[in-house]
Amino acid sequence: MVRESPWYIYEFKAYTKERWVGCKLVDVLAAEFKRRTRLYFVLAVASGSIQINGNSVTDEYVLKHGDLITHKTHRHEPPIPTDEIDILYEDSDVLVVDKPSGIPCHPNSSYNKHTLTEILKKKCGLSFVSAQNRLDKQTSGVVILAKSSKAAVKYHKKIEEKEGFKIYLCKVSGEFPECEVIVNLPLSISRKTCTTTVFQEDGVFQGKPSITIFRRVSVENGESILACGLVTGRTHQIRVHLQAIGYPIIDDMIYSTPYIRKEALINRINKIKENTSESKSTAEEINTENNNNPTVENKPHIECEITGSAYLEMAEAEGEPLTRESVEKFLTTEDCRTDDFQDDETYLETVSTENTSQFIMESCMHCRNPESLSTLPKFSTLSLHAWKYSLEENVFTTALPEWCTEEINDALCKEIEQTKNRLVSK
């Protein structure tokens, strides 16, 4: 079952960005919005459905500072799942919910009414709803939403200052090592592909500092459930860090190709174990004192931190240069698309531009591909779930996702939080 939205006329608005100034309007639109062809934008300008500062222009128009670009379209939003949005907590300032997979947090170029904020406005009778910790459309779990602009400023500041602590759950391909793995690798976002990568230039990794803590929860049928602690919160951080160390999330259609083999991480951990000669004897002494009843707390604590220098060694042994160009081959950017059909230039050439309203209706791609309006986009779900969010005295926890049947040990969560606090205090 999917939730469908009736079509409606919608006007997109955007002010000219610095990098667009001095460029032709049509060239910019064709480069930035690749879902439509250049011919479409030429015709849309001619029809008046695209205007500058409320006025019609020609396709030779050159953008200036402060120009307001408007674009009226016949809008169909992709369908979303019908899953219920469970409310975990509510007070006068915030609403905390368990977001299902397949629902975007906030309006974007493809979704408006079919977004978490707009659905909750209608469901709860609210005029203002703003997501403070945004999840990808495919990711499920805890989302904190402010119910006023004042509350939004308050909670945004708390989150920016890292007052909270988040634990995610995910399912990865392969038997993940049992020890604690810390990935401390900067992440860089590509404007061209809207994806995140790990890459180096002259031995220095580029991008913003990014740290994720991984602990194995369970293993079954060659797949592992992991608990993931975020020290930083970058775009696609968990997904890319797992891809980088050879354990991508099982159903990630974008970051599915590992940078290096799993054996590279296993070999690294084995070296650490060899150098930690006292671990076994210490653990045996503790177990004896505890009547030979080992628990998570008294297991030998093996920690593997993957920093830039360590990762360069691992990648070098694998023959992977980790340059910007080389890591792009690990991305499947076509799977970012919400559907498979393309603009039909042969058809567009038959559409009249004499009447704006008629052009808007007749140039609509979705009206010519109605099957896209009744089935979920191909990449709607992901085995990644924001399970627990601690913020000040509040702890928000969801039910476990259906793909995670193992209960999460409280001691394991405490160990992850302790590691996070130690890393933050460095």
pLDDT digits (tens, 9 = 90+) for 204-261: 999 999 999 999 999 999 999 999 999 999 999 999 999 999 999 999 999 999 999 9
DSSP per-residue letters across 341-397: ----HHHHTTS--SSHHHHHHHT-TGGG-GGGGSS--SS---SEEEEEEEETTEEEE
Instruction: Give the pLDDT of residue 61.
Output: 98
Q: 213 pairs with which residues across the strands?
A: 182, 229
> Catalytic site residue 136?
yes
- Read off φ and ψ for residue 339, nearest 5 degrees: -155, 175
**Would you state the structure tokens that stand for residue 258, as one six-digit string?**
């590992």
Instruction: Give the pLDDT of residue 43.
Output: 98
**Would you state the structure tokens that stand for residue 402, as one six-digit string?**
């259906």
User: What is the reported pTM?
Assistant: 0.87
Instruction: Give the pLDDT of residue 286.
Output: 47
DSSP strand pairing (8-15 vs 2-3): unpaired
Mean pLDDT by 10 residues, the chain (426 residues): 88 96 97 91 98 98 98 94 96 97 93 96 96 94 97 88 88 96 96 88 96 97 97 96 98 96 95 74 52 46 91 94 93 64 90 97 91 83 97 92 93 95 89
Distances (CA, A) of 157 to 81, 133, 150: 32, 11, 11
User: Annotated catalytic residue: which of 136, 339, 343, 344?
Assistant: 136
**Could you give the CA distance from residue 255 to residue 230 in angstroms, rounded to a whole number?**
18
Instruction: Give the pLDDT of residue 339.
Output: 61
Helix (H) and strand (E) counts for the chain? Answer: 12, 20
Domains in the chain: ranges and CATH: 8-75+343-368 (3.10.290.10), 80-161 (3.30.2350.10), 163-252+260-277+301-321+384-425 (3.30.2350)
Distance of CA 143 to the CA centre of its chain: 13
Instruction: Give the pLDDT of residue 340.
Output: 64
Cβ(71)–Cβ(28) under 8 Å? no
Instruction: Give the pLDDT of residue 334.
Output: 61
